[in-house]
Amino acid sequence: MQAKAHFAQYLIERAFEKTLVDHQPHKPWSWADTHPVAKMRFISQNEQMIEDDVFVLAGLSGRTLAFGPGLYLGGAGAGEQGNTVIAGHRDSHFLKLKYLQVGDVIEIQNTQGVYSQYQVTELRVVNENQIEEMAASDDSRLTLITCYPFEQLSANASQRYIVEAKATSTANMI
């Protein structure tokens, strides 16, 4: 599954680049039922990237999450006012959440080319039934969700690891 997820990111990146040009959604492959909506990067406090860029897809279906993190469509869009919720698998793209610390920065580029930065303010573990993490908010925040614990081999995880980050800036960078 990890090889499929990482190769898919290459195809998703190409689709995202097309979207940046014409601001239209582009599927990463012809039979895809999703499209990229953002590019995300994790930056540690000492300005070192934790890993490469990750491309975020529209929706949270199992098919979507098999190829990359997904944007919760009931929340704010990438870089919009409100709670932007992105979920991903703990054993592929969101394994890097394990290494984030309070104070680290998460940068997101939306389909219009606008970059938003969020600073990690809280890391916590909750029960899988706690859906208030996905609730709307008046401020600009980013909520990342993955299964927990990271090392568990079983697919049945009853806990979720939550990264909460508050918006620090938005800029149209080139």
- What pTM was computed for the model? 0.91
8 confidence band (pLDDT: 50, 70, 90): confident
For residues 146 and 161, what is the distance between their CA atoms, to the nearest angstrom? Answer: 5
54-74 per-position pLDDT tens digit: 999 999 999 999 999 999 999
> What pLDDT, on the 0 to 100 scale, is given for residue 173?
45
User: Quick one: which of 128, 156, 131, 52 has its CA closest to 95?
Assistant: 52
Q: What are phi and psi of 20, to 5 degrees?
A: -60, -30
What superfamily would CATH give domain 2-171? Sortase (2.40.260.10)
- Answer whether residue 174 shows pLDDT above 60: no
